[in-house]
Amino acid sequence: MNPNIPEDIIERAYQGKTTKEDALFLLEVPPFKLFELADRLRQETVGDTVTYVVNRNINFTNRCIGNCGFCAFCDNTGYILGIPEILEKVRDAESQGATEVCIQGGLLPNVDINFYTDIIRAVKTEFPHIHTHAFSPMEVYHAAKQTDITVGEALTMLKEAGLDTMPGTAAEILSDRVRDIICPGKLKTDEWVDVITQAHQTGINTTATIMYGHVETIEERIDHIMLIRKIQKNTSGFTEFVPLTFMPYNNKIGAEMIKQGRYATPGMQDLQLYALARIILNTHIDNIQASWVKLGKKLAQVALFCGVNDLGGTLMEEKISASAGSTNGQFMSAQELEWFITSSGRKPLQRNTIYKPILSNDSEQMKFKVA
């Protein structure tokens, strides 16, 4: 291992110009040197505040016509929630202080854009103050195709119905080589980029994600983050970047890995990816989010010293990771999240979906920017 990080690599990191070669080099230095650089960039960008959102996941169906090899959630004899059931879940979330509902589901064969706009319109009619963070790029693409309209038209209809922001999921790894193996029926890399770019141009901010630790190479992970950076330079529409480690249980891709003696990613590799994300995206995306559901609470706490400044949401009802073998729980209260952050020596702050502070504690310390 190279013991030190050269000054020119550090300089490019500060300027937001980290190259792929820089990133590969950084994976060869002692991990704590990498973490130290990422932590320094985090501190200078967003300070010592660690944010979270009080939210609820609502997965309206686990039926899906897709064939993703990593999915353990799909069940074609499963459930479909009606609008009254969705509204009841929103009502329950509101009673627990949620400011956001994240609504996603499997791809149903006989629905069009009206299915999606009806859900959003119903939620916004009864709960106009609740932020609707809903529908992945794949769902938007599917809705447009089913309705025989353009993606742009679908996005406009969703925004007019009351859609606030979108999750940048369905990204997995933005490499068609990988996608042909793990999700051959899903939209291609260019199609994902097109939906996301058009969402930003329509005034719909999104998150950005990566789902790693299956069949991709290290170089493909780096290429993915570089592509996210390129999109952000063009649109400024991403609010945060969220690395999601692959969960290998109860799915086809995971079964193949386990046969080979591979069990997702080691914790040190997870932390290296969080650190690389902070470094590559420096000056472009300020907020790096750790998924406590994927990492586990204790490793997520360590990630706060590897470039992470956000711990996502309380979730209240997380089903997708749990179905793939996560044992880290489906809900963490705001009180526990705050304790979790404070015990790390950081300052907790409740935020809304677009990173505006909701509580006043130490809000003068907030440095983060909103897209």
Q: Which pLDDT does position 330 carry in this prediction? A: 67
Identity of the amino acid at 200: H
Q: Which pLDDT does position 73 carry in this prediction? A: 74
| Closest by Cα among 141, 204, 214 to 175 | 214
Q: What's the pLDDT tens digit per position in 110-130?
A: 999 999 999 999 999 999 999
Task: Give residues with Cβ within 8 angstroms of 32, minimum separation 6.
Answer: none
Q: Which pLDDT does position 1 carry in this prediction? A: 58
Binding-site residues, please?
A: 64, 68, 70-71, 136, 172, 291
Contact assessment for residue 104 and residue 135, using Cβ atoms and an 8 Å cutoff: yes
Binding-site residues for [4Fe-4S] cluster, please?
A: 64, 68, 71
Contact assessment for residue 232 and residue 238, using Cβ atoms and an 8 Å cutoff: yes
Share of the chain above pLDDT 70, in %: 92
160 pLDDT higher than 90: yes
| Closest by Cα among 83, 128, 124, 131 to 105 | 83
Other CB atoms closer than 10 Å to residue 130's CB: what's the count?
21
Contact assessment for residue 285 and residue 307, using Cβ atoms and an 8 Å cutoff: no
User: What angle, rounded to 10 degrees, do the helices at 113-126 and 83-95 form?
Assistant: 40
Q: Which pLDDT does position 46 carry in this prediction? A: 98
Q: Which pLDDT does position 352 carry in this prediction? A: 97
291 pLDDT higher than 60: yes
Q: Which pLDDT does position 325 carry in this prediction? A: 42
Q: How far apart, in whole angstroms, are the C-alpha atoms of residue 294 and residue 263? A: 13
370 pLDDT higher than 50: no
Mean pLDDT for 137-160 is 98
Q: What's the pLDDT tens digit per position in 77-115?
A: 899 999 999 999 999 999 999 999 999 999 999 999 999
Binding-site residues for S-adenosyl-L-methionine, please?
A: 70, 172
Q: Which pLDDT does position 367 carry in this prediction? A: 45
Contact assessment for residue 91 and residue 103, using Cβ atoms and an 8 Å cutoff: no
Q: Which pLDDT does position 359 carry in this prediction? A: 61
DSSP label of 365 = G
13 pLDDT higher than 90: yes
Mean pLDDT for 179-194 is 96
DSSP-assigned beta bridge partners for residue 133: 102, 165
Q: Which pLDDT does position 256 carry in this prediction? A: 85
Binding-site residues for (3R)-3-methyl-D-ornithine, please?
A: 136, 291
| Closest by Cα among 172, 173, 97 to 129 | 97
* Max CA distance (Å), the chain: 59
Q: Which pLDDT does position 369 carry in this prediction? A: 43
Average pLDDT of the residues of the chain:
92
169 pLDDT higher than 80: yes
Q: How far apart, in whole angstroms, are the C-alpha atoms of residue 225 and residue 209? A: 9
Confidence at 361, pLDDT banded by 50, 70, 90: very low
363 pLDDT higher than 50: no
Question: At 134, phi and psi to the nearest 5?
Answer: -150, 150
Share of the chain above pLDDT 90, in %: 81
Q: Which CATH superfamily is domain 7-13+22-365 in?
A: Aldolase class I (3.20.20.70)
Go through 6-45 and write b for each residue having 16 or more CB atoms within 10 A of its CB, e for each that does not: eeebbebbbebebeeebbebbbebebebbbbbbbbbbeeb
